[in-house]
Structure 1
């Protein structure tokens, strides 16, 4: 709780105490006019005024006596009452806010919240009530509404007014927040809608407008501007929002202060609800190797993803993100390969893959069971309440399953990472994948990144427009904060620049402290961040070559070893160089940078004999694991089989706390105990043996029985799996393939559709199958690249179908149809490049155990490759 001397700086009138989370401190009552209420802090003051003639409310704010927000309307409109006019004052209750909380990500791990809050109650002549809650914090002002329910809101009168001549950095609105920011003035900005957060500067005062505590109770908002005006009106994404109980709206938020205060602000997080997760030990931020931007097709290539895993392991990066194009047929094996090297796998998903409870309850547990540690969810592209309810549902389910999350194609952070600490990052920025100009980079540090982790995907060296220098790119993981930092380029680009890679191997992704050292939204940003005893400095500039200066006053007393990473004058895209010197906090670091240049630095306490601030890159000891049976095994329900595992420390390091065991799938049983060793010396082997029984009601299809070893304090996980096939009933007669169980299913866009066309990405959204103008009641609708497999048990002698491109696409795709029996191609259509009548095929499948129907993209990409297997059926004994 604040000391009395601290509390005396926060002056409030009080008629009661409002109960809420955090420490509560009553504040002495003061007389104030009946139509004007003041909420004050040490430097900021918010004033709410009631126009006695119209009954309208306004709110303004000052900083050190200077007006930064002119009085602007506040209030709500509902279907039952207009709560923006005709109001009268009812009561006021005040409290002092004092909280502490910890974050898993962000610019500062440990947070302290202080502020003053007033709840002003107003009512109409008919008795309809609205409470206005106003909070003043050291770094800004915020307000929200509380309305008794049930209620349907049709809009807000909420607005912010800044001086018309104020400089402005605005984001033309779209629901995925990926436009370039526009530098203009508050009054000179074009009429239209702008996205949060929006930054304004008037003299020495900066104001960043945004919102906080937005979830499925309410839609998001944007800022609507009329040309020539300094007022920015809050406009909701939905025309109406209904609450059955009391409604607490999101906070309308203004971060206010000098540029350093705005940059370091945690106000958006401070206003958000506390964490809903009590145990966050499984939440692990970190660096991520990512292939999609530099090699768009590589997420579909198992061997290439293994190369990214190897690169991450060599450099101590804990994650590899496998983006769009991965296959369920090999991801489990990639996960096992990666975990043995101390690397975990993250997977990309389109949001619509999880848009129903049933999909969330099947897809997410399945990838969790593979050993995947997190997901990148993409293309939400909406601020509607319905989409925010989807966020709520996904966050609850991923938290339950201990899956971390990155939201891409998303809204902006609204304090989400405080409430749900497994949110590692969000996009909502024109990041590297959209090839932004270098001039767009500095402003992001003072706008978008202020409100939360930003998935910009930095450090583009060989990919992208190459406008920024290499040192500028290398500095971005310090200038930009993100709990997961997805590096944009491929291993070869980084390994060709070993000094750049050396710095990237050292830079953290979570910080204990953040300081603005210098810069301005229009020209550059220099930011210092501390992790433990080391400081990291990142400086970027836009425009002509010049010298960047960084005062080292953020350092403590004593001598500090400063290692500067900078561009050379000999090569625009070559490696950086590293310079070392011993400095003190009174020094100023000056570095000459080229056009759109920058520099980075790592700084640590100088000690006798210390020559670098680098810490050792963590390497996982090499091991080997052999299992039996090593080949795929058929096992009927109720039968048993034996599994063995032999684990060897093949490297030069001894392993400690080693456990070798297996795990039974749900409904199966394992007989035999884990094998344990306190230490396994180099060259030693330990062996375990277990009996596994298939469950009596086990579903048919493939199941992995993992055998794994874990060791050392960080529980390195080395795993292989016995592949078990539980056969379904063998088909009889002439069944349609769409009526059989799919043993395997891959599809290039959304799921395979039974008896419908592929259409879009959501399951069940297909149209009637139609090829060459003829509709078919039965068949499969797929999208290249696709493969569906069914079990025929060597009892089906023929497969028949019609093949062709579905009529539903506006343009014609190109595909190849293949029928595959036990891995052998039995039929190949050649390239089908035109729409038209379905082509009848009949394929001999005598002796085939597993039949697969495959569609490829004919080698020219998968756009418009909607393919149909019409009337597809098998003839069986």
Structure 2
């Protein structure tokens, strides 16, 4: 009997070897190697400089009818091609010119589907493509990622899929992550030799992905189910109770591409900040006229609870208060003011405004002052009457909307994002998705989508002590790798840890004033907030004068230093000027900044740095003006929770 079993096993292995096919591609610089094995199932692995980083990834898709992907798979043909082109983003949140260079392996399978793999210098990606024309349901998408022993993660743990996706990044060994623990994307995995940042892009008409643990070094993909019923009896303005879900994750029709699964791979943390992979793998621009899309800064009301003072009227949700915001914005070259929660007649009656706030008058007054108005709106009532609401706002003269409290990642919600973006593009309205999942490629298709939240940002200062300097130097490497983030910086009440107090009406930030100022260079956000009260900003005009010089879009980005959760220093160019932002965690640091990226000549550098007493009094800062050139090496000295920022004028200081 044992002899028969041995013979059968041998025959099975021989058959597997006969039908097993292996394919390999390397990145253009040859440092990353991706190997694909097809032996009925589909798996792949990736290495960096010959060190295995992703040990094995098993992938596939199961459907209600037709051919499953990755089951009894047989390759009909394959091709390997090199590609190189230039992408020029409409809204350059990082670089105005992106070199899109990669090697692509295309596998065409029996059963009318393809699988594309790409190897870039900064990572790999794969995408399934369905060539059939049938209607069917996606029952599940399979992806099991196995990392080498000892792998760890920066784990944005979720309690449920109905979520704002605003999380802290927990440092956890993969073997410590149980099967009932899961996280949203992006997520970073750490091996002995490199890190992997995993996320998705080109997400259209399909649910967003999460990954869960199982007590080993393997992580598995999961998705929210297709939503069949919502409890409409509960009178909730922003939250939903899902009462019935399908046993599938998506309905699909006809031939289509599925999302790109993106894996940035590097042994240098700076790569995750510099990488444009999620943009490169997005679908191309879908609108013709983009001249009207204007990024800029925003004077924002909700963080500071409309607390203005030193005026001869009662501040709050009223016309006089918002005219004060507009006057502040106008006098400081701030392009926008947001009317956040409270401007509508109620949170559900959003076609009419609060009787104390004359919205058309504010829009008229703003235009007179060269300041545009953006209107906050809840997703639920907007989704129920999208076209009429947006056309009404457009008729008033609003420039855009801030959509809040989506909280879902299922197929319907993903489609709703695109529906909103498309309709707003038709009406020439900007979109800021707040209460959202991470950017997933939509901003390239519809560049009027200028920002996403999906990040645990400064508004949490109002009710928690979770927004620490360590968190602030973690998110640029992880969340920001997916795209711009609506963190809402600019707090002027700054405290060291021992002095911090939670105050909803008068919030304060952890870390120094220079830490906040540096965010305007470090954090990517084409629509960037100034979160504090105009009354406070007037008293801190020197800080505002510095911030108001910093652009919100960039021509070039260079990361000078970076370690996830420890520190970061970024240099960005806009036109003929360079801007540098550096931030640290609770550890005081000195970072040497090499200015060799400058051209020949002498230049003026205006520096905003921690004051000598910032370790005790976080609002202490100093502004210096010095002369530098391309041979200069400047030391950015930062206090605990500190920062450092500079503006370099590309004009000879002697002229």
8 Å CA contact retained: 2:458, 2:509: no
Q: For residue 487 of structure 1, what is the aligned residue in structure 2?
A: 530
Counterpart pick for 2:115 among 94, 115, 132: 132
Aligned to 1:74: 59
The answer to whether the aligner puts 1:309 opposite 2:326 as a matched pair is yes
CA 1:342–1:417: 2 relative to 1, 3 Å: same
Partner of 2:88: 102
Tell me which residue corresponds to 2:280. 270
Given that residues 363 and 397 in structure 2 are in contact (C-alpha distance below 8 angstroms), is that contact kept between their aligned partners in structure 1?
yes
Which of 61, 84, 99 is the aligned partner of 2:70? 84
Deviation larger for 457-466 or 56-65: 457-466
- Asked if 1:429 corresponds to 2:455, the answer is yes
**SS of residue in 2 equivalent to 1:454:** coil
Deviation at 1:212, TM superposition (A): 0.7
Structure 2 partner of 1:693: none
Residue 190 of structure 1: CA displacement? Answer: 4.9
> Which range moves more in the overlay, 93-102 or 39-48?
93-102
Distance 1:247 1:344 in 2: 39
Gaps of 5+ in 1: 1-31, 611-877
Say which of 554, 559, 584 aligns to 1:516: 559
TM-score by length of 1: 0.63
1:179 corresponding residue in structure 2:
167
Which of 189, 207, 227 aligns to 2:196? It is: 207
Q: CA deviation at 1:546?
A: 3.1
| Alignment partner, residue 349 of structure 2 | none
Please give the residue correspondences for 1:208-287 in structure 2 after superposition, counting only pairs within 5 Å. Answer: 208-216=197-205, 218-227=206-215, 229-238=216-225, 239-257=248-266, 258-287=268-297
Post-superposition Cα deviations, 1:375-396, rounded to whole Å, max 9, x if no partner, equal: 1000011100001111121111
Distance apart, 1:502 and its partner CA = 1.4
Match of 1:526 in 2: 569
Is 1:380 matched with 2:363?
A: no
**Secondary structure of 2:488's partner?**
coil
Q: What is the CA–CA distance in structure 2 between the aligned matches of 1:443 and 1:585, rounded to whole Å?
A: 29
Q: CA–CA distance in 1 between the matches of 2:178 and 2:475?
A: 21
**Aligned counterpart, 1:290:** 300
Gaps of 5+ in 2: 1-17, 226-247, 308-314, 345-352, 462-466, 494-505
**8 Å CA contact 2:578, 2:650 repeated in 1:** no
Matching of residues 601-750 of structure 1 within 5 Å: 601-609=646-654
**TM-superposition CA deviations, 1:398-420 (whole Å, max 9, x none):** 00000010000011101211111
Is contact 1:180–1:430 with CA below 8 Å preserved after alignment?
A: yes
Q: Highest Rg: 1 or 2?
A: 1
Which protein is richer in helix relative to its size?
2
- Give the superposition deviation at 1:428: 0.3
What is the distance in 2 between the residues matched to 1:259 and 1:409?
A: 28
Is the CA contact 1:163–1:186 (under 8 Å) kept in the aligned structure 2? no
Deviations 1:584-618 (A, max 9, x none): 333322133221111111112351445xxxxxxxx
In the aligned structure 1, how far is the partner of 2:618 from the partner of 2:640?
12
Confirm or deny: 8 A CA contact 1:105 1:453 kept in the other structure.
no
CA RMSD of aligned residues (A): 2.0
State the alpha-carbon separation in 2 of the partners of residues 185 and 337 from structure 1: 55
Q: Which has the higher contact order (CA 8 A, sep 6+)?
A: 2
Q: Does the 8 A contact of 2:249 with 2:411 survive in 1? A: no
Distance 1:574 1:442, change over 3 A: closer
Structure 2 residue corresponding to 1:155, chosen from 131, 140, 143: 140
Q: 414, 420, 441: which is aligned to 2:472?
A: 441
Residues of 2 paired with 1:101 and 1:278: CA distance? Answer: 16
Counterpart position of 2:36:
48
Which residues in structure 2 correspond to 1:452-471 (within 5 Å)? 452-462=483-493, 463-471=506-514
1:602 is paired with a residue of what secondary structure? strand
How far apart, CA to CA, are the structure 2 residues paired with 1:204 and 1:558? 40
The 3-state SS of whatever aligns with 1:60 is strand
CA contact (8 A) 1:287 1:319 kept: yes
2:107 corresponds to: 120
Partner of 2:598: 555
> TM-score, normalization: structure 2?
0.83
Q: How many residues align?
A: 568
CA-CA distance at 1:478 after TM superposition: 0.8
Q: Aligned partners of 1:240, 1:317: CA distance in 2, in Å?
A: 43
